[in-house]
Amino acid sequence: MSQHDESVRCVVLGQPDRDRADAIDEVQQRTTCELTLTEDPVVAFANVCMALQAQAARATWGLAKADPPLLLVVQPDHWSDYDKLLNAMGMYAPHVPVHLWQEGRLDLLPVKVDESEPHTSPPSMTISRADTPIEPPEITAEEIEMLLTTETPEP
């Protein structure tokens, strides 16, 4: 985990119980983190992706953090979609560390991509500059007349 002074986004997938509290304590002893807590693997993955997008936005403003976010999965055997989550992480966020908390121990998991799944890039966001002039399409006289005609066609 990070040894930097900056905080790292830590997405925690876990039920609100003693195990989750112990896992968070262990992570916070190793790094300064901003926590996002969830009990849904899909929401956990979405939060990791949003943290990556926020980091990319900061980079365009010259405010990039040195470390990617991290995902902490508490008691991975509890989650039926755990394998799908790991596959998604391997495909779309392979450089994001995944830590597992089980049996009172925190371990770093090497994420591997499942090559049997087709890889498609997640949708990207396009930002246009406000000072770029927008030219409206030309409208013909016939189109204007059609728009101004109030007659409704008879059946």
The reported pTM is 0.67
Q: What residue spans define the domains of the chain? A: 8-109
72 touches 101 (CB < 8 A)? yes
Using DSSP, state whether 114 is helix, strand or coil: coil
One-letter amino acid for residue 4 of the chain: H
Instruction: Give the amino acid at 57.
Output: A
pLDDT, tens digit (0-9, with 9 covering 90-100), for 24-34: 999 999 888 89
How many CB atoms sit inside 10 A of residue 89's CB?
24
In tens, the pLDDT along 78-130 reads 999 999 999 999 888 888 999 999 989 999 987 555 556 555 444 444 444 45
In DSSP terms, 109 is beta-bridged to: 98
> What is the per-residue pLDDT across 66-80, written as a single tens digit (0 to 9) for each?
678 999 999 999 999
Nearest to 65 by CA among 88, 19, 26, 34: 34
- Asked if 89 and 45 count as a contact pair (C-beta separation under 8 A), the reply is yes
Pairing of strands 33-38, 8-13: parallel
Q: Which two tokens stand for residue 26?
A: 């262990």
Instruction: From the options 1.25.40, 3.40.50, 2.60.40, 1.10.1040, give the CATH code of 8-109.
Output: 3.40.50
